[in-house]
Amino acid sequence: MAGLFDTFTVAKRGMNVHQGALNTTSHNIANANTTGYSRQRAVIETTRPFGGTSKFDSAGPGQIGTGAHITTIQRIRDSFIDYQVRNETSKLGNYQLTSEFLSQVEDIFGEPSETGIQNQFSEFYAAFQELAKTPEKSSARTVALQKAAALASSLNDAYSQLEKKVSDAQELLQQNVTDINSILNQINELNQQISRVCAVGQTPNDLLDRRDNLLDQLSSKFGIEIKNKDRQTIDLKIENFPATGTDMNNLVNSDPNTEYSRFSYVKGVQYAVKDDNTEDKTSLVVEYYPLGDSNAEPQKITIQGTEDELNTLKLNLEQNRILIANQEGIVEKLDKTNSDAMTSDDLNKLIFKMYERDEKVNSVDPKVIKGEVAGNQLVQNLMKGYMDDLDKMAASLAYSVNAIQTGSIENGKELVDSNGKPYECIFVAGDKSSTDEGINAKNITVNINILNDVTKLNCGATNESGERNGERAQAIANLLTTKIDISDITSVKSLDRKEFFEKSKISLDQNGIGIVGSKDGKTVHNYYKDMVSQIGTKAQEAERRVANQSEVILKNLELQRMSVSGVSLDEEMVNMITFQHAYQANAKMISTIDQLLDVVINGLMR
């Protein structure tokens, strides 16, 4: 049978247990408002009882309890809810960034507006309509040219602002690279600390909370795949990343001796220069900042390949900007046993692309579109698409107007004025240019020679038709309703007027004055209206998705997570009182045993 000292030990253990439980409760209360904190609970179990199984055992009948002890401090967490939160956080990161940039793109065009491009198109056509009525008036010519110049300037500004937004997106990618690498390094360090704590039989609850917080942050950047390993460590990879047969998709590993990958940022991409200072289209020089650190010495890789291969690689690098590198940020060949130079295919597999666009159906895989990185790369693609649309519209306008002005779709075959000099283009490719070859939204401008001398504006059918003839001015005004099919044009930057007319299926009429439109296609004005409408629709859809994702889906998941892991002060107060009373009861037990021992020791001596 257990003695008084055994009972004393039981009470002492009881005090220790409930002091530990009070400590845990106090820790919960202290962290009630700590972001990412998971409620903890002291798991209390009975200690091994006293007494054997033999009837000759001196313990007497049955077993005598020896008290209780805390076996572990349990962290209350639901891993499935964590998975759902991170999955939806990745989607939200994409939606938020897309919404932010599309909203800014919407502001660039600012439609509908009295000063917007849409209204300037209308004013341009209206000015030439008025000019057709009174072509002999220099004031009417001046107004028409001023409207043309204003329209060209607005196209320049819109293009430049879109170009700046693309640059802003790329700068944000560089910041993402440094942030991601920093988060990965912290997770890696915590992984090792957690392993060491678990190795000695303890529970690193607060370290696990810190790691989960970082995983939540990382999931907003891109989709992540987590595998639980021994000692509560994890392996971390990029979700849905194409398999390469290597460990390049190894960002955090439970084994501290395993190599891991990090990210570097592409500073610039350009073709190598030959001895004669011309571009070598078969050699591409890629300059990058290791780990995205712009203060570090930039590294260079030279890639050999065909012109088509390198052009595709160049476009990918200029948009995606992130390379998968080793832990020092140095880009290496996937096959390290092969000493040959890195090829375009090698480097293409190292580009951190968070989506793949299927050009045939003009769509992306929505399962892969996750996180800010994917949203950034996708929105760049959208903005470059709008820049291409502006280029096509500028070229459509310029080539059509110039063909009417010069009476020809070919440079060098223009009509001549009464002095025997060829009529000059109204729209030219740049301030110092007199030709429209390669004209686009960035360089379109009104010919300074015509602006300075409005008599050079060709309004009539022929030199003999008289100054009151405004047929060509009317033909320009008629472009308001002339359809142009630009569906087969991928880029206008290398086109001339003749090539554009052939590709867009338009031509000059038999008199060489008006434009015969295509059967399909749209007017330039309507191309612009449709583009602006598409931007507005996409911006609204992105905004709707952000609201749905943050205010409904993620909010509900966070509430579920808080219901499991969050600290309820009411519950903790109840626990505190419960543990306090139990502690006091055990203390009273010790006081009682003290009195009994006094009876045994001192009372028997009397």
- Chunked into runs of 10 residues, the chain (606 residues) has average pLDDT values of 80 96 98 96 92 55 84 96 95 94 94 89 96 93 96 97 96 95 97 96 96 97 94 92 71 92 95 88 94 94 91 90 93 72 84 59 50 91 94 96 93 82 92 86 95 91 69 94 91 89 92 91 93 94 94 95 96 97 96 88 70
Pair 211, 194: CB distance under 8 Å:
yes
- Within 13 Å and on the Cβ side, how many CA atoms surround 568? 12
Q: Alpha helix locations (H) across 110-251?
A: 117-133, 138-199, 205-219
Mark whether 141 and 9 lie in a shared domain.
no
Q: What is the pLDDT of residue 113?
A: 84
Q: What is the pLDDT of residue 359?
A: 40
Q: What is the pLDDT of residue 368?
A: 53
Among the listed residues 316, 376, 374, 381, the one whose alpha carbon sits nearest the alpha carbon of residue 345: 316
Q: How many whole angstroms from its chain centre is CA 293?
A: 19
Mark whether 440 and 504 lie in a shared domain.
yes
Mark whether 530 and 391 lie in a shared domain.
yes
Into how many domains does the chain fold? 3
Give the Cα separation of 24 and 445 in Å (integer): 73
Domain that holds residue 458: 132-167+387-534
Instruction: Give domain status of residue 453, yes or no.
Output: yes
At residue 537, φ and ψ (nearest 5 deg) are: -65, -45
Mark whether 398 and 520 lie in a shared domain.
yes
Instruction: Give domain status of residue 161, yes or no.
Output: yes
Instruction: Give domain status of residue 326, yes or no.
Output: yes
DSSP letter assigned to residue 351: B
Instruction: Give domain status of residue 234, yes or no.
Output: no
Report residue 79 as tokens: 């891993």
Mark whether 329 and 427 lie in a shared domain.
no
Q: What is the pLDDT of residue 396?
A: 96
Mark whether 320 and 441 lie in a shared domain.
no
Q: What is the pLDDT of residue 50?
A: 76
Of 310, 330, 353, the last residue of a domain is 353
Residue 30, judged by CB atoms within 10 A of its CB (0-12, 13-18, 19+), counts as: exposed
Among the listed residues 161, 148, 117, 122, the one whose alpha carbon sits nearest the alpha carbon of residue 528: 117
Instruction: Give domain status of residue 110, yes or no.
Output: no
Mark whether 282 and 336 lie in a shared domain.
yes
Mark whether 392 and 470 lie in a shared domain.
yes
Of 309, 336, 353, the last residue of a domain is 353
- Within 13 Å and on the Cβ side, how many CA atoms surround 237? 14
Report residue 282 as tokens: 């078969």
DSSP letter assigned to residue 603: G
Q: What is the pLDDT of residue 339?
A: 63
Instruction: Give domain status of residue 185, yes or no.
Output: no
Instruction: Give domain status of residue 551, yes or no.
Output: no
Instruction: Give domain status of residue 183, yes or no.
Output: no
Maximum Cα–Cα distance across the chain = 148
pLDDT digits (tens, 9 = 90+) for 469-518: 889 999 999 999 999 999 888 888 888 999 999 999 999 998 889 999 99
Mark whether 508 and 412 lie in a shared domain.
yes
Pair 319, 356: CB distance under 8 Å:
no
Q: In this structure, how many other beta carbons lie within 10 angstroms of the beta carbon of residue 349? A: 16
Among the listed residues 399, 415, 396, 417, the one whose alpha carbon sits nearest the alpha carbon of residue 407: 415
Q: How many whole angstroms from its chain centre is CA 376?
A: 3
Q: What are the residues whose beta carbons fall under 8 Å from the beta carbon of 24, sequence distance 6 or more?
A: 40, 41, 42, 73
DSSP letter assigned to residue 154: H
Q: What are the residues whose beta carbons fall under 8 Å from the beta carbon of 416, sequence distance 6 or more?
A: 422, 423
Mark whether 529 and 583 lie in a shared domain.
no
Of 534, 555, 581, the last residue of a domain is 534
Q: In this structure, how many other beta carbons lie within 10 angstroms of the beta carbon of residue 363? A: 9
Q: In sequence order, what DSSP letters do the residues of 214-256 get, joined into one string?
A: HHHHHHTTS-EEEEE-GGG-EEEEETTPPP-SSSTT-SB-SST
Mark whether 53 and 158 lie in a shared domain.
no
Q: What is the pLDDT of residue 62?
A: 65
Q: What are the residues whose beta carbons fall under 8 Å from the beta carbon of 77, sequence distance 6 or more?
A: 38, 208, 212, 564, 565
Query: Given 3-state DSSP classes, what are the helix, strand and coil percentages for the chain, each rounded to the nearest 5?
Result: 55, 15, 35
Mark whether 392 and 524 lie in a shared domain.
yes
Is residue 205 helix, strand or coil? helix
Q: In this structure, how many other beta carbons lie within 10 angstroms of the beta carbon of residue 280? A: 15
Report residue 257 as tokens: 């001796």
Is residue 330 helix, strand or coil? coil
